[in-house]
Amino acid sequence: MWNSNRAPGGPTPGPCPGVDVTRDEALQLMQEHTLSPSLRQHMLAVEAAMRAHASKSGGDPETWGIVGLLHDFDYEKFPNSEHSPTEGHPAWGVRLLRERGLPDAMCRAILGHATYSGVPRDTPLAKTLFGVDELCGFLVACALVRPSRSFADLELSSVKKKLKDKAFARGVNRDEVRQGADELGVPLDEHIAFVIQALRPVEQALGLGGGGGGGGGG
């Protein structure tokens, strides 16, 4: 189980209510298992979107943020192209998180973001993780090709146009982007606009908007 009693570094808040892990400890675990700057960037983006959604829907931003920060931490080492529900990502990572004492609801949300896990998305936390995961990847790709490399001037119309271009960011599952909005019960346009707004304040931490971080820190 994580030690939640030591003081976290910098301005990071303390442990989540009822969760024996700090954001610093979650970030350290993610970085230990993930060397890819782009994958680190993705998890930081999903963390920001999860925090924004928690504030909107009455969830705990620390809990939701940590789920976003850790949802793909095992992907680089155990990518699971076979889509096994019990081996590789995210099953491997969740086993480790359970050993560390992460609560069941958080573990189930992480499992549920991979449809092949067979774990239903039956909580707002789980539905939100699935809803922002692919979309965050797509929005980062959209920002990267702008002259500004920023979310500040990224418009909904541009994102929708690129969603129709199957050659752009072809690794992003468009069906899951739409399904994510459906499961959250919000129009796709509203969902996209909300996540863009959530990513704007953290873009420098993502290495965008003139920031040079490359997604390595938080």
What does the pLDDT look like over 15-33, one tens digit per residue?
Answer: 344 567 899 999 999 999 9
d(CA 51, CA 45): 10
pLDDT of residue 216: 37
Query: What is the percent of the chain with per-residue pLDDT over 90, rounded to a whole number?
Result: 86
Query: Whole-model pTM above 0.95?
Result: no
Radius of gyration in angstroms for the set of CA atoms belonging to the chain, rounded to a whole number: 16
| pLDDT tens, position by position, 44-80 | 999 999 999 999 999 999 999 999 999 999 999 999 9
When pLDDT is averaged across residues 174-186 and rounded to a whole number, the result is 97
The C-alpha atoms of residue 193 and residue 139 are separated, in whole angstroms, by 10
3-state SS track over 151-198: CCCCCHHHHHHHHHCCCCCCCCCHHHHHHHHHHHCCCHHHHHHHHHHH
Q: What pLDDT was estimated at residue 205?
A: 95
pLDDT by residue (tens digit) across 100-133? 999 999 999 999 999 999 999 999 999 999 999 9
Mean pLDDT score, 165-173: 94
What is the average pLDDT across 71-96?
97
What confidence score (pLDDT) does residue 19 get?
A: 62
> What is residue 73's three-state secondary structure?
coil
Q: What is the DSSP letter of 216?
A: -
pLDDT tier at 168, thresholds 50, 70, 90: very high
